Amino acid sequence: MTPAETAAYLDQILAPLHQRYRAVNDGDVATYIPELAKANPDHFGICLTTLDGTCHAFGDCDQEFTIQSISKPLVYGIALAALGREGVHKKVGVEPTGDAFNAIILDEKTRRPFNPMVNAGAIATAALVPGKTLAERKESVLATFSAAAGRRLSVDQKVYESELETGHRNRAIAHLMLNFGMIEGDVTEILDLYFMQCSILVNCRDLAMIGATLANVGTNPVTHEHVFDTAAVQDVLSVMFTCGMYDYAGEWAVRVGIPAKSGVAGGILAVINRQFGIGTYSPRLDAQGNSLRGIKACADLADELGLHAFNFMNSGSQFMKSVL
């Protein structure tokens, strides 16, 4: 396929895919963070960005929402770049749990949180972000996310304040880890950073570009800025694959088979290594806290393009055959 043919082919796949699921009205918006309850349940966008920087966008792709748990693999990447795999893994493991993302539970043997995609693990990795002051660490996180997205991002102050006011369960998790030595330092500052990272505003285009940056071994395909440590990207994508979709991660691995991370504001970030990034947004969530429309769209896209990591035949995919 020529680049023009590839672009046309992807548009022909994505346009009807968006139409197929835009009227799905199952699920509910998140309410445990009061500001998230204000989201419009009808919003639905899907965006795919290839490694030449071409963006294919359909629906509400410019609608901003907070990144929430999609921040977790990105901060994990920051921690890995700073401390290396062994340094990070002293504080957080890489095993799936099958438990809810906000479960107050640690590994009984090691006392570590199970993985960086659940709240406990994400708080532990936030504690590892380097910087002399809280302000410096916050700017480091925001600057990294912005570089991956290819534009300067900002924090939703109302969501951030709402998280601060209602995040008592996360405080309990943090103090439990402090008790077992899995985090060190000022718990209030660590949680402040964690709440801030979850409150960063993105849209579908940003998620797709962040995905393309990860797919491009850590380098933004448009700005050519090297954002994530190359060695860290492998670990980030691996943990996204096994743990990224809350307690639906196993089902996702079987049905969709690509690295991904969801957030309770309704976003999903997915990565096709060395090929493209996908971003979807719809705030209607299933019982596990994943975007219902986003899951359906990603599952169909994986089928139609032959994206599953173990779809060795890449059946039915002109696009995949053209790039292999």
The catalytic residue among 94, 194, 239, 271 is 194
Count of CB atoms within 10 A of residue 28's CB? Answer: 13
How far apart CA 44 and CA 18 sit, in angstroms, is 8
Please confirm, yes or no, whether 69 is among the known catalytic residues. yes
Q: How many residues does the chain have?
A: 324
Rounded to a whole number, what is the largest CA-CA distance in the chain?
Answer: 58
The catalytic residue among 21, 69, 92, 239 is 69
Residue partners of 213: CB distance under 8 A and separation at least 6 = 148, 219, 220, 221, 227, 228, 277
The catalytic residue among 21, 29, 72, 155 is 72
Please confirm, yes or no, whether 94 is among the known catalytic residues. no
> DSSP H helical segments within the chain, as ranges?
3-21, 71-89, 119-126, 134-149, 157-166, 168-179, 187-198, 204-215, 230-243, 249-255, 292-305, 318-323
The catalytic residue among 264, 271, 281, 317 is 264
CB 263 within 8 A of CB 69: yes
DSSP structural state of residue 291:
B
The catalytic residue among 21, 160, 246, 281 is 246
Please confirm, yes or no, whether 9 is among the known catalytic residues. no
Point out the residues that are catalytic.
69, 72, 194, 246, 264
